[in-house]
Amino acid sequence: MASTAGDALLLLRQSIASGSSIVPAASAEGTAPEAPLSRATHLQFRQPTPVAIPIDTPTRFVSGSDDAAVDLRSIYFAWLNREVAIPEYNASASRLNAELAGSSTVHKFAFVERLDLITWLEGASEESEYIKPLAGDKEAVAGAAKAPTAVVPSRSGRGTLDPRLAVIYNGERRMGDHNTALRGIKPTASLPYPRLGRTRPC
């Protein structure tokens, strides 16, 4: 099983979704046995195609604390400890860092970062503010920015209407006053003013 330049985050997410095995190993060979994270050099994925990626590969997940790319070992470690509380997670990360003995360091995610990562990995969210888009996604965003914008309806005397407000206004129910609801104004006959100084006949 040769190494590949495939996206580590997507491979991890796809493997989690399909329930296929993810094996930390001390070799890129497919027959290599599972190894502890402190001695693993590769993370082996069985699906969609067998592939092994170096476990210290930087991923597209960028930590907000130091604006650095988080390595695959830290991502996988956070996923394995997704159900534990932050204090226990931090203690486990410290123990793993001690076992690594300076050869590498496991990134300790902040609470919001870890929640965002786990939500994205398990497929509950399609976007993450910490994950940089792929090259194809960047091109799509750039193309959308260059595309001509749709004509936005204007409001007389108030300039151009914001597109988001236009959508909201189009979904509103048209309201009217009392007369509009009754389909017009009820005509009322004009009564003559009484003449003063006249007496009724006896």
Query: Which domain covers residue 130, as residue numbers?
Result: 58-136
Q: What is the mean pLDDT of residues 4-21?
A: 85
Which of 24, 39, 54 lies at the terminal end of a domain, its last residue?
54
Instruction: Examine the domain organization and report whether 27 and 83 are in the same domain.
Output: no
**Weakest-pLDDT range from 30-44, 144-158, 161-175:** 144-158
Global pTM?
0.65
Domain co-membership, 68 together with 119: yes
**Residue % of the chain over a pLDDT of 70:** 62
Q: Are residues 81 and 132 in the same domain?
A: yes
Let me know if residue 169 belongs to a domain.
no
Residue 114 in any domain: the answer is yes
- 118 plus 71 within the same structural domain: yes
Residue range 53-84, pLDDT digits in tens: 999 999 999 987 678 899 999 999 999 999 99
> Is residue 109 included in any domain, yes or no?
yes
Beta-sheet strand order (sheet of 42-45): 22-25, 42-45, 51-54
Instruction: State residue 161's pLDDT score.
Output: 57
Q: Does 64 lie in the same domain as 114?
A: yes
In a domain, 67, yes or no: yes
Q: What pLDDT is stored for residue 145 in this prediction?
A: 41
- pLDDT top residue among 167 and 141: 167
- The domain tally of the chain equals 2
Q: Which of 94, 116, 136 is the last residue of a domain?
A: 136
- Considering the domain architecture, whether residues 45 and 78 belong to the same structural domain is answered as no
